[in-house]
């Protein structure tokens, strides 16, 4: 039985373009306490399950800090109210996880990126090529901020552009029936917000009140080990 579970994890990793690290970490679906992991050995894209929640490892930020993101969404959150959904989710995390969470900015300086003003790479990659035209949004990178607040947060367009190499990496294909879309924190034109679609496309042309059960907020954390 264990063999079958390992094979399933391995095949899912291949499908998602994710291979496992060489460290002593538990298998992706093996729910484990924080102490069971060595995050310094994880590669970007590694899936792991910690204290009842499944995450995707995104980045080693140095000084023992690691950026991770939930491998699922909080359904029905909209762009304009996702912070309250994320705060509720965070308050329900196991204390052993919350104790690892590092402070980020109390309020992110997001800037805004009108969807129609963005130029893109090809459709397979689907990454903006002119973020420098939007300096505030380009500089909105998730990182530890001493004196900030330990909390969960949505990623920015700059984060996603930097951390996800292509559309496939941004998708959540394991969520039935077709995957799920997820909200970013970067506003678009007035009254609009940026999302990642079910197909992994980035876009800022949705109204900030748009949403439903097929997607929602996808909280990220910076943890220290």
Return the SS3 of 96. helix
* H-helix or E-strand spanning residue 76: none
pLDDT above 80: residue 10: no
Q: What number of CA atoms fall less than 13 Å from residue 93's CA on the CB side?
A: 28
Q: How high is the pLDDT of residue 17? A: 43
pLDDT tens figures, 21-35: 557 899 999 999 999
Dihedral sign of CA atoms 41, 224, 17, 159 in order: negative
Which pLDDT score, from 0 to 100, does residue 118 have? Answer: 97
Q: What is the pLDDT of residue 1?
A: 47
pLDDT tens for 151-174 read 999 999 999 999 999 999 999 999
pTM of the model: 0.90
Over the stretch 41-69, which tens digit does the pLDDT of each residue have? 999 999 999 999 999 999 999 999 999 99
Contact between residue 17 and residue 45 where contact means Cβ atoms under 8 Å apart: yes
Q: How confident is the model at residue 103 (pLDDT cuts 50, 70, 90)?
A: very high
pLDDT at 7: 63
Widest distance between CA atoms in the chain: 53
**Cα separation of 81 and 77, whole Å?**
6
């Amino acid at each position: 039985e264990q063999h079958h579970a390992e094979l399933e994890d391995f095949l899912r990793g291949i499908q998602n373009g994710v291979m496992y690290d060489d460290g002593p970490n538990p298998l992706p679906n093996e729910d484990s306490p924080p102490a069971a992991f060595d995050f310094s050995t994880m590669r970007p894209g590694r899936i792991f399950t910690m204290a009842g929640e499944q995450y995707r490892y995104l980045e080693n930020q140095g000084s023992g800090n690691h950026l991770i993101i939930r491998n699922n969404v909080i359904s029905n959150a909209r762009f304009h109210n996702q912070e309250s959904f994320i705060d509720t989710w965070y308050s329900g995390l196991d204390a052993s996880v919350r104790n690892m969470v590092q402070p980020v900015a109390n309020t992110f300086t997001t800037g805004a990126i009108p969807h129609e003003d963005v130029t893109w790479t090809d459709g397979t990659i689907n990454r903006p090529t002119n973020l420098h035209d939007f300096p505030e949004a380009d500089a909105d990178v998730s990182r530890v901020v001493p004196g900030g607040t330990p909390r969960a947060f949505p990623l920015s367009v700059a984060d996603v552009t930097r951390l996800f190499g292509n559309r496939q990496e941004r998708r959540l294909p394991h969520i039935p029936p077709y995957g799920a879309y997820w909200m970013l924190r970067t506003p678009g034109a007035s009254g609009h917000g940026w999302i990642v679609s079910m197909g992994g496309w980035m876009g800022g042309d949705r109204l900030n009140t748009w949403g439903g059960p097929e997607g929602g907020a996808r909280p990220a954390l910076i943890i220290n080990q």
